[in-house]
C-alpha cells in the first residue's frame, strides 16, 4: 500500500484541465474536419466523390461533404489530382440537427451544437446519467467513449456518468449502425428511459450507417429508430470530439471557459 501511495504522489495530478485550460495535444496523425479547396477543383472532376466509400462527397452546383457519412479515411485525399483535399485539426464536430453535418465547401461554415433548452439544461446540466447502447458497432467508438472514464479525462467531474440500467438513465448514448437484430432492443431501451430524455449518436455508424450504409441488415443509424438530440461524427470520433459535444449540449463549455 505504501508503494501505491508513493507512486501516486510521484505521478501528481493527471486529469487534464480542459475546458478551463488548453485542450490536450492531438496526435500527429489526427484527422479533424475535412476541407476541400474548391478553387483547385478542375471543371468536371468528380474523382473524390467517385472514390468515397460512403458517398459522403457530392458535387453538383455545390461541393458538399456530409460529415455524418464521412469515415475520415484518406481515399479522397489520395485520389485528388490537385491535392485539394486535406484534414484540418478542428476537433469540434458535434451538431444538434442532422442537416448541419452537410457542409458547403465554398462557405466552410459549420453550425456547432447548441445547448439544451432551459428546462432540460436545468435538469441535466449538473448531473447526466447515460446508458450506452452498442447497436452493432465494431467497438472503436465504444473504446473512445470508454477513454473518457479514465483518470486523464475524468468525465465524472462534469457530472456525466454511465449507468447499467436505462431506468436509472437520463438518456442514451448510441454507437453502431443499429442492426436489424438490435432494432427492437434499442427501441425497448429507449422506452425504458423515463421522460424527459435525450439521445446522443456517436460515430459515423450511429449517424448514417458508416461503412455498412444501405446494407439491408442495418437501419442506417439511430434516428431511423429513435429521435436524436446530438450527433457526434467520426470513425471513430476522438475522445476530445465526444467530450466537446457533450459539454456543448449541456451548456457547460462556455460556462467553463468564462468562469
User: What residue spans define the domains of the chain?
Assistant: 118-257
What local confidence, expressed as pLDDT, does residue 259 receive?
34
C-alpha cell at 12: 501528481
pLDDT digits (tens, 9 = 90+) for 105-114: 888 789 999 9
CATH number given to 118-257:
3.40.50.12280
What local confidence, expressed as pLDDT, does residue 13 receive?
62
Answer whether 136's CB lies under 8 Å from 218's CB. yes
Cα–Cα distance for residue pair 166/241, rounded to 1 Å:
24
SS3 content of the chain, % helix, strand, coil (to 5): 35, 15, 50
The arithmetic mean of pLDDT across residues 70-98, rounded, is 95
The arithmetic mean of pLDDT across residues 209-220, rounded, is 95
For residue 258, pLDDT beyond 50: no
Give the CA-trace dihedral at 66, 148, 257, 204, to 10 degrees. 0
What local confidence, expressed as pLDDT, does residue 257 receive?
43
pLDDT digits (tens, 9 = 90+) for 14-67: 788 899 888 899 999 999 999 999 888 888 789 999 999 999 999 888 899 999
* Cβ neighbour number for residue 71 with a 10 Å cutoff: 21
For residue 1, pLDDT beyond 90: no
* Exposure b/e, 157-185, CB count within 10 A at least 16 = b: ebebebeeebeebbbbbbbbbbbeebbee
Q: Read out DSSP for 123-174? A: HHSS-EEEEEEESS--SHHHHHHHHTTSTTT-GGGGTEEE-S-GGG-SEEEE
What local confidence, expressed as pLDDT, does residue 11 receive?
61
pLDDT digits (tens, 9 = 90+) for 140-194: 999 999 999 998 999 999 999 999 999 999 999 999 999 999 999 999 999 999 9
The arithmetic mean of pLDDT across residues 69-82, rounded, is 95
Phi, psi (5° rounding) for residue 219?
-105, 10
For residue 6, pLDDT beyond 90: no
The residues, any chain, with a CB within 8 Å of residue 13's CB and separated by 6 or more, are: none
For residue 220, pLDDT beyond 90: yes
Q: Read out DSSP for 73-133? A: -SHHHHH-TT--EEE-S-----BSSGGGGEEETTTT---PPPPPPHHHHHHHSS-EEEEEE
H/E element, 199? strand 198-202
The residues, any chain, with a CB within 8 Å of residue 216's CB and separated by 6 or more, are: none
Closest by CA position to 225, among listed 155, 192, 181, 178? 178
pLDDT digits (tens, 9 = 90+) for 115-144: 999 999 999 988 999 999 999 999 999 999
Prediction pTM value:
0.92
Q: How confident is the model at residue 9 (pLDDT cuts 50, 70, 90)?
A: low
Answer whether 243's CB lies under 8 Å from 150's CB. no
Amino acid at each position: 500500500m505504501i508503494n501505491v501511495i508513493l507512486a501516486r504522489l510521484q505521478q501528481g495530478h493527471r486529469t487534464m484541465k480542459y475546458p478551463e485550460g488548453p485542450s490536450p495535444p492531438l496526435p500527429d496523425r489526427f484527422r479533424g474536419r475535412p476541407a476541400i479547396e474548391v478553387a483547385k477543383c478542375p471543371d468536371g472532376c468528380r474523382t473524390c466523390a467517385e472514390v468515397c466509400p460512403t458517398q459522403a462527397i457530392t458535387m453538383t452546383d455545390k461541393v458538399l461533404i456530409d460529415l455524418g457519412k464521412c469515415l475520415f479515411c484518406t481515399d479522397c485525399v489520395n485520389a485528388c489530382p490537385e491535392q485539394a483535399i486535406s484534414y484540418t485539426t478542428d476537433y469540434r464536430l458535434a451538431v444538434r440537427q442532422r442537416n448541419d453535418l452537410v457542409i458547403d465547401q465554398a462557405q466552410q461554415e459549420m453550425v456547432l451544437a447548441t445547448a439544451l433548452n432551459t428546462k432540460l439544461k436545468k435538469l441535466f446540466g449538473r448531473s447526466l446519467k447515460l446508458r450506452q447502447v452498442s447497436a452493432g458497432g465494431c467497438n472503436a467508438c465504444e473504446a473512445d467513449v470508454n477513454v473518457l472514464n479514465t483518470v486523464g479525462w475524468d468525465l465524472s467531474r462534469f457530472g456525466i456518468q454511465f449507468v447499467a440500467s436505462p431506468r436509472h438513465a437520463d438518456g442514451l448514448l448510441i454507437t453502431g449502425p443499429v442492426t436489424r437484430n438490435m432494432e427492437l432492443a434499442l427501441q425497448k431501451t429507449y422506452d425504458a428511459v423515463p421522460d424527459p430524455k435525450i439521445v446522443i449518436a456517436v460515430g459515423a455508424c450511429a449517424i448514417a450507417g458508416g461503412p455498412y450504409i444501405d446494407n439491408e441488415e442495418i437501419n442506417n443509424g439511430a434516428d431511423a429508430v429513435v429521435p436524436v438530440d446530438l450527433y457526434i461524427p467520426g470513425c471513430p470520433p476522438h475522445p476530445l470530439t465526444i467530450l466537446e459535444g457533450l459539454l456543448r449540449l449541456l451548456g457547460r463549455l462556455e460556462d467553463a471557459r468564462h468562469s
